Amino acid sequence: MNGCLMHRFLSNRVIVKSGDITNEKVDAIVNAANSSLLGGGGVDGAIHRAGGCSILEECRKIRSTRYPDGLPTGEAVITTAGNLPSKYVIHTVGPVYSASSQPEAELKNCYLNSLALLKKQGLRSIVFPAISTGVYGYPKEEAAAISSLAVRQFLETDDTIEKVVFIFYSLSDMDVFIKNQKFAQL
């Protein structure tokens, strides 16, 4: 894995790199959660394992008070980051590609709602994984176009968020994103 190879866009406000999201020291990292908010596999499991029990405790509280039926697809909530170097974790549920009637809108909402929550909390930096591109089956090329366009549109009307990072566990996934991103195109 190579954490040194980075690409920058939008006047250096957006960074694309390969690495481990649980090592990122930013205001918030985004968890590609499942609707239960109780942990799972992939990024979700890695964040819960590295962050410790306090994340799970806050997620349980959110479930019992705000979302007893689970966090809806595309929505976002924030918790402590526990033992992680980031300050917070923003949890969002991406669409299961084959089961969604509106996968593009739901995936776009994951990014927009996460950024809106970051801004509402007065935070300035965030790291996103490739939401829904693992076991949820979203085609990586399409997800890259949707996510980069959503972030670009948000940042065009916001000057408070200083840094948005897209992080990929593998260089090959990062390369797919770079080839399909929509930061440079107008």
Q: Tell whether the torsion through CA atoms of 80, 173, 15 and 25 is positive or negative.
A: positive
DSSP 72: P
Which one from 20, 44, 69, 173 is the annotated catalytic residue?
44
| Euclidean distance between CA atoms 87 and 58, whole angstroms | 14
44 is known as an active-site residue = yes
Q: How far is CA 116 from the centre of its chain?
A: 12
Q: Is 179 exposed, middle or buried (0-12, 13-18, 19+ CB in 10 A)?
A: exposed
Angle, helix 103-120 to helix 140-156, in steps of 10 degrees? 40
Active-site residues, by number, are 44
